[in-house]
Structure 1
Amino acid sequence: MKRLLCGAICAIILLALSACATAKPAVTSFEAMDTLMTLTVYGDDKVGDQLRSRIDELDSLLDMTDESSELYRLNREKSASVSPDTAALLKRSLQLSEALRGSFDLTVCPAVQAWGFTSGDYRIPDDDELKKLSEMIDYRQVTLDGDSVKLSDNTRVDLGAVAKGYAADCCGKLLEESKAQAAVLNLGGTIRLYGRKPDGSPFKVGVADPGNPAAYFGYLSLDGGTVATSGGYERYFERDGRRYIHILDPKTAAPVENGIQSVTILTDDGTAADALSTALFVMGRDRAIEYYHTHPSFDFVILTDDGTISLTEGITDRFTLAQGYDLRIETIN
């Protein structure tokens, strides 16, 4: 069951790579960060174990539901000295929370827990509770000084939205120090591409169909970078015919309802890719495009409820609509 759920959680699924006869990849699959991960590496049979160890190390630090993790301890004690990894990701998350105008906020944890998305005990908070929860979400209530972190009394942090992106960045550094010629790291919705395929062709990444996550509505041909997707189909519950998704608007503490089905981000910065995919989903199509026009350091694929795919100009020629899909494509200049 967990493997089936992992398949649904993955917003982007990498198609199988075709290896040339003289270069077979080393493949490592395992569960971490609440998802199934698959590491495919060409040219170095040993680095896969190092990559897995690095991801497991980060998972043990950043899992806010694990009582032995640094993040759990920080949320409980409100003050702690943390490891360099946790401090680095907290610092980057604070920067991204500011840059993304609160559409991404690392202190959304109380609301995520209140809706039951961490425990699976789903519930719908009433308007009064939502108001109180929204007042608890404010990244400015986190103080970071080197490796020392302090939270205000009602503040709790959740780095789940950027942990896989940060792991992708850390693994990228390990790959640069290895003998690997190419690699595809599928971290469950966040994919890191490294080097070039043995046959010289681009990597081919399928963008999952939110209505059927086992299928793809399109494909991206890429030479590298990190690809991250956020979608309402990843985790949700239904009550009285209404769907409540796990992506919450920090301003309202409630699930987002704005006509977006999924947001896919392509950029070299894995941590930013994760944060951007969440933030642009929260922003909605029009605000996402406005943000892109003033911060054109990434590309995106946005799928909306009306069957429109919005593509940034930088990846228009690298996107292919899958057979059987009748979707309108618009280019964002």
Structure 2
Amino acid sequence: MLKRRLMIIGFVLGCLIFSGCSDGVVTSKSVSESIFAMDTYMTVTAYGNEAQNAVTEAIAEIERLDKLLSVENKQSEIFLLNQNGGGKLSKDTKYLLEQSLKLWTETDGKFDITIYPIMKAWGFIDKNYVIPDSNTLNQLLSLVNSSTIKINEQKSTVTFEKPGTKIDLGGIAKGYTSSKIMDIFRKHNISKGLVNLGGNVQVLGKKSNNKMWQVAIKDPDSTDYLGVLQAEDCAVITSGGYERYFEQDGFIYHHIIDPLTGYPADTDLKSVTIISGDGTLADGLSTALFIMGKDKAVDYWKKNSKKFNMILLDVKGNLYTTEGIVDQFISEHNIEIIKI
């Protein structure tokens, strides 16, 4: 039965992440370490003679980026930029701002890092959840506009042209982090490895038995999986309203805010999984396409099919996958193939 196979696969994947096992086939030294950062548990696993050095450096990189990009840490670059309305940019932050503004343009504003004041008003930053009144949201919505972010390329500085503008790179930071870890792996001659950043997975090469990694895609409505993706040299990143939410007066309010309305996105999708060689892109798109909804997400993929593939689950339980990964995704569910 596929369900039993999925359970076994999930166990094996967990074993790879947490204890360094490899389907009973050991071809090289493996090292695995875990850390709590960016408000989630993360695990880094590498195979090779330099595995320990690679993992140690990867953990240090996670800690560095966590301190750099935090919106709450008063010593972080993002906190200081928000307090000062701009400032000097490090190489990492400059790159992330550039990619964020590019995504903002390409997704017609669905990915917008200036959403921070509204995220905070809802309590999704400090977990003090509350439903903001309409007047508050309307005032804060006037600050949500990435076009007011101006980068000076020569000076490596940024200016927030509208007073009160604040940014949050949380919708793109984990994907960037996982891609940076892949760079560290390659520097240490690691040919196979995996990083799990709170459900954001990125893999390098193939497993020790020379087969592709098996990444389980969570079913938002149960403890089972929607299916398993066979992955190689890519990021697999999922976004959905089930990840972080609160309930009040019988209504559920999730953390993926529509920049147009200031409310949790009213979408016909339950989850969006992006598969791409670029972890930064995958992270940002998983949020943007969730907000877009199914039809616009499909249209966007058709225009950008060379950059990523995707798995969509809609609110009716229908499962879709793009044609580029049709042979890599195993599921008990009926799957509709999205074609160009």
Question: Please, what TM-score do these two structures have when normalized by structure 1?
Answer: 0.91
Which of structures 1 and 2 has the larger relative contact order (alpha carbons within 8 angstroms, sep 6+)?
A: 1
Deviation, structure 1 residue 280 = 0.4
1:65 aligns with 2:75: no
Amino acid in the other structure paired with 1:176: R
Give yes or no for contact 1:232–1:246 (8 Å, CA) kept in 2: yes
Structure 2 match to 1:268: 277
Structure 1 match to 2:318: 308
Amino acid in the other structure paired with 1:90: L
Structure 1 match to 2:260: 251
Give yes or no for contact 2:26–2:208 (8 Å, CA) kept in 1: no
Cα distance in 2 for partners of 1:24, 1:260 equals 41
Structure 2 match to 1:206: 216
Aligned-partner SS, 1:275:
helix
Identity %: 38
1:277 aligns with 2:282: no
Give yes or no for contact 1:15–1:206 (8 Å, CA) kept in 2: no
Cα distance in 1 for partners of 2:290, 2:84 equals 32
Cα distance in 2 for partners of 1:261, 1:219 equals 17
Deviation, structure 1 residue 22 = 3.8
Deviation, structure 1 residue 15 = 4.5
Amino acid in the other structure paired with 2:77: E
Cα distance in 1 for partners of 2:24, 2:213 equals 11
Matches within 5 A, 1:133-212: 133-146=140-153, 147-151=156-160, 152-212=162-222
Structure 1 match to 2:117: 110
Cα distance in 1 for partners of 2:86, 2:226 equals 46
Amino acid in the other structure paired with 2:317: G
Give yes or no for contact 1:300–1:312 (8 Å, CA) kept in 2: yes
Structure 2 match to 1:124: 131
Cα distance in 1 for partners of 2:177, 2:56 equals 14
Aligned-partner SS, 2:98:
helix
Deviation, structure 1 residue 196 = 1.7
Cα distance in 2 for partners of 1:160, 1:208 equals 21
1:328 aligns with 2:334: yes
Structure 1: gaps spanning 5 or more residues: 1-12
Deviation, structure 1 residue 129 = 2.3
Deviation, structure 1 residue 257 = 2.1
Deviation, structure 1 residue 181 = 2.3
Higher strand share: 1
Question: Please, what TM-score do these two structures have when normalized by structure 2?
Answer: 0.90
Aligned-partner SS, 2:336:
strand
Q: Deviations over 1:162-211 (max 9, x none)?
A: 00111112111111111212001111122111022111111000001112
Q: Deviations over 1:94-114 (max 9, x none)?
A: 111111111100111011001
1:95 paired residue among 102, 105, 108:
102
Cα distance in 2 for partners of 1:101, 1:197 equals 38
Cα distance in 2 for partners of 1:21, 1:273 equals 31
Aligned-partner SS, 2:150:
strand
Deviation, structure 1 residue 82 = 2.3
Give yes or no for contact 1:309–1:329 (8 Å, CA) kept in 2: yes
Deviation, structure 1 residue 19 = 4.7
**Would you identify which runs of 4 or more consecutive aligned residues in structure 1 move more than 4 Å?**
none
